[in-house]
Amino acid sequence: MSELPSLTSRKVVRALKRAGFVEDRQRGSHLIMVHPETKARTVVPIHPGRTIKEPLLRAIIRDARLTIDGFLGLI
């Protein structure tokens, strides 16, 4: 199990957009992103100045139906 870096929400959103995700909507500090072809949906918390820790980042990657190596290649 490879370790993931702590990333800011901006970097996570940028990587997801490179994977084909688009912003669907935002409710408060949570950005909902969907992939138009696979219909995969994931939620990214937007908190300026804070990083997304490894367990939550793994959940975002899993919800996006990406592999860890594939996600790291998009960063």
**Domain boundaries, given as residue ranges, for the chain:** 7-74
Distance CA 8, CA 37 (A): 26
Distance CA 71, CA 46 (A): 19
Coil, helix or strand at residue 10: helix
Kindly state the average pLDDT of the residues 58-69: 94
Q: In this structure, are strands 30-34 and 51-52 parallel, antiparallel, or unpaired?
A: unpaired
- pLDDT tens-digit series, residues 7-55: 999 999 999 999 999 999 999 999 999 999 999 999 999 998 899 999 9
> What's domain 7-74's architecture?
2-Layer Sandwich (3.30)
Which residue shows structure tokens 């190596």? 69
The token pair at 17 is 């957009």
> In terms of residues, how long is the chain?
75
